[in-house]
Amino acid sequence: MGRGTVQVLLLLGLLHWGPGGEGRKNWRRRGQQPAAAAAARERSEATGQPVESFPLDFTAVEGNMDSFMAQIKSLAQSLYPCSAQNLHHELRLHLLLNSSVTCNDGSPAGYYLKESKGSRRWLLFLEGGWYCFNRENCDTRYDTMRRLMSSKEWPITKTGTGILSSQPEENPHWWNANMVFIPYCSSDVWSGASSKSEKNEYAFMGALIIQEVVKELVGKGLSNAKVLLLAGSSAGGTGVLLNVDRVAEQLEEMGYQGIQVRGLADSGWFLDNKQYRRTDCIDTITCAPTEAIRRGIRYWNGIVPERCKLQFKEGEEWNCFFGYKIYPTLRCPVFVVQWLFDEAQLTVDNVHLTGQPVQEGQWLYIQNLGRELRNTLKDVTASFAPACLSHEIITRNHWTDIQVKGTSLPRALHCWDRSLHDSNKNGKAPLKGCPIHLIDSCPWPHCNPSCPTIRDQFTGQEMNVIQFLMHMGFDVQKMAQQQGLEPSKLLGMLSSGS
């Protein structure tokens, strides 16, 4: 019999033969008499509540361990005040007590929280959702995406998915952490610091919302944290890069120097590259990222980390919104997750994959984008960059399926966690067999066989990588010739993800 089994049996022995137990096989509340137990059972049956008394069968434990462990689980559920059948893995909404820190429309900002009392790890997630940078496109955003500018219609609870899930199968290493989801309602890439006024139709308080949430969480157990992981996707991923050092400094100033603050930026590592086709800056989709951020930072009264700000001339703080420029200035360790062919990047670069075969110029632009992005990540200590055409990953149900060089994202994050814990040197000494710098080297979108499924937008049918590339106008003969390969050899390499 294993050591764990012996410990469980000893624990049960204390329950079974403890004071008032008298060796009986029925566990009851201490001192409860048979008549009282029967009366309690009758009341329980009448109200539909579970019966208190719980029979345990200790016979043939070794030969029937599954059955025995099922009894242990059932006993634990009966002892726990809220049985597992009624246990919700949901995050609950808390509007900020400081009502001066608001969403765009002046409604109170807030956060969703699911506490995990036994854990000293906290995960704070910043939601994404583009931005607006002038009165006109903010008005349009308010009419079409009000949830991203107001808290008035937020639901009371949310169910966490991906890295916010409480299910070990979906979230193998962080399922038991204290989970915080901070909804995005400031439209400023989490950088703004201006309130609503007669002059300003909208408030932009993204940076202040994060500070206020951290302040409130300190009173809810964050003060005892060992690790705080500030994570985010898309605009939230960029928000991580802009705010992770500020959160660390805030906690230090509050007297919590022992909390290790880290960042996880998903799909927020954008390039300030030249657009495929230049268009006028009318809205967030058509405007080049550099111009949109230039205009936005003024409109939002946006703030960037001081260390990054000092790298650029006055008026050029917009540079700090681009990952490869701000990353070298960060003090906190940050793990970067970025698709090499990010759909949002392609959108702002005016490469629109509408289902029609792409032109040769677009195809070359897409390939070059992958190369440029790969180059910006070469000096990033901890990174995960699959050669896929997609956007956002860490809160997706399928986030455990994507691999780079045989390593999944949860595994890579676990390795990073261990490297920081073991070396305490920002992960600069990776553990053997536990990689944390994972960047695909194959050159085409979806050349990684673990990429998310692609569907033909007209037929809805799934496409494999060869069908997808053909669909995009990929010329096998020409590409094989360029690579000095036989077409059949190139197709075989594509199929295997080589």
Contact status, residue 432 vs residue 418, Cβ threshold 8 Å: no
Provide φ and ψ at 435, rounded to 5°: -75, 150
Contacts of 166 (CB under 8 A, 6+ apart): 89, 114, 160, 175, 176, 179
**Beta pairing class for 341-342 and 389-390:** parallel
Coil, strand or helix at 55: strand
Instruction: State the catalytic residues.
Output: 234, 342, 391
Contact status, residue 226 vs residue 259, Cβ threshold 8 Å: yes
Which segments within 329-483 are labelled E, that is strand?
A: 334-337, 341-342, 382-385, 389-390, 403-404, 407-408, 437-439, 454-455, 462-463
Distance, in Å, from the CA atom of 210 to the CA atom of 244, rounded to the nearest integer, reads 10
Provide φ and ψ at 303, rounded to 5°: -120, 145
Coil, strand or helix at 427: coil
**Closest Cα partner for 465 from 443, 484, 480, 432?**
443
Burial (CB < 10 A; 0-12, 13-18, 19+), residue 486, is exposed
Distances (CA, A) of 298 to 74, 202, 320: 59, 13, 14
